[in-house]
Amino acid sequence: MKRTQHVKKVIVQIVTHNNERTIRACIESVKAQTLSSVDVVVIDNASSDATRMIVKTLGVSCIALKNNRGYGAGHNVGLAQGNSTYVLTLNPDVIISPDFLQRLVSAMEDAGKQVGSAQPLLYRVEKMNEQSFIVDSGGLYFNPARRQKLRFMGRNIKLHPLVQQHIFGPDGAAAFYRRSMLRDIDLGNGIFDEDYFMHKEDVDICWRAQLRGWKSLFVPKAVGYHIRTFRPGRRENIHNNLRVFAVRNRYVLMLKNELPSLFMRDLVWIMAYEVLIFAYILLKEQASLSAYGQVVALLPSLLRKRAVIQRNRKVSARDMAIWFRWKSL
């Protein structure tokens, strides 16, 4: 009689690239989880520092890629090899509390199978093992100008308690996914769109999932701590390549996922923000002008993906309108 392979309930995937300063604390927090059925795998994007060696000393599985293929491609490698009910995509600069996974699994199980993802409460810190009560992220949302933002960012939790509720989707720093949802939104060439390379892949996952009718849940009792490098007020300290991706991938997102009626509803706000972006690039960040040419080069691929997304869409523009607001729900 053939033996049935045991399927782990949660797999934690961590994509790394030169993260020797934070990876140990991150993995140790995963290994300290109260949930018993947890596997962890690191997909390393050709680190040149001690990241891989540290992962090895911790006894964690590491998939060593020969080249830096980016955030999305790294997670696609892990997803293709894993088989679990849930997947946590965790940044290597995040520490999670011991009951983190237990609370997310419980919330998802209670919410029902229509909920495809969950967002924990992330506090913002400047170094690993630091404590904080200032919110880093409670999930993602869009304003009408199509600028994606972090829910509750900068809020002091002691002054403004948070409650569990439905949201647009989880922030990729610690996004908890139902694997069946990820499979459902797969466009046939990897669940994460590798055209992004880095930045906004998590937003794309959320948008595609919403268009397919999946729900997402904010679970504030699941707590983590995150060092966020790319955030408002620190753009000048970010590598030029990431700045280009941040501009380019805004258009990649909209070209793939936008609904025409909602786009026209918010056209004034979208165009006003476009003027600000272009003026900023001309005055302070001319290197990012290359983003526009890259969008044109990607256009045939984006239109093919858009056709699949829109053909498989299950919700109406009215259903989606709630997620494009000046203030998050």
- Annotate 273-305 with DSSP letters as a single string: HHHHHHHHHHHH-GGGGHHHHHHHHHHHHHHHH
Query: C-alpha distances in angstroms, 213 versus 13, 73, 288, 301?
Result: 25, 25, 35, 24
Q: What is the pLDDT of residue 5?
A: 46
| Residue 255 scores a pLDDT above 60 | yes
How many degrees, rounded to 5, is the angle at CA 136 between CA 130 and CA 142?
170
* Tens-digit pLDDT profile for residues 306-318: 999 999 999 999 9
- What six digits make up the tokens of 255? 């070209």
- Residue 98, pLDDT > 80, answer yes
Position 6 scores a pLDDT of 46
269/146 Cα distance (integer angstroms): 8
In this prediction, residue 230 carries a pLDDT of 61
Q: From CA 312, how far away is CA 108, in angstroms rounded?
A: 24
Residue 238 confidence (pLDDT): 63
Task: Look at residue 3 in the predicted model and tell me its pLDDT.
Answer: 37
Q: How confident is the model over 273-281, as a mean pLDDT?
A: 96
pLDDT at position 4, please?
A: 39
pLDDT, average across residues 224-253:
79
Average pLDDT, whole number, for the chain?
A: 92
Cα torsion through 255, 260, 266, 271, rounded to 10: 40
φ, ψ (nearest 5 deg) of residue 298 = -85, -10
Domains detected in the chain? 10-226 (3.90.550.10), 235-321 (no CATH)
* pLDDT of 237 higher than 90: no
Going by C-alpha positions, the residue among 84, 283, 70, 318 that lies closest to residue 181 is: 84
Banded pLDDT at 134 (limits 50, 70, 90): very high
User: What amino acid is encoded at 252 in this protein?
Assistant: V
Residue 326, beta-bridge partner list: none
CB-CB contact of 149 with 167 (8 Å) = no
Matching residue, tokens 């506090």: 123
Length of the chain: 329
Tell me which of 123 and 243 has the higher pLDDT.
123
Backbone phi and psi for residue 227, each to the nearest 5 degrees, phi listed first:
-90, 105
Task: Report the helix count and the strand count for the chain, using DSSP H and E.
Answer: 11, 12
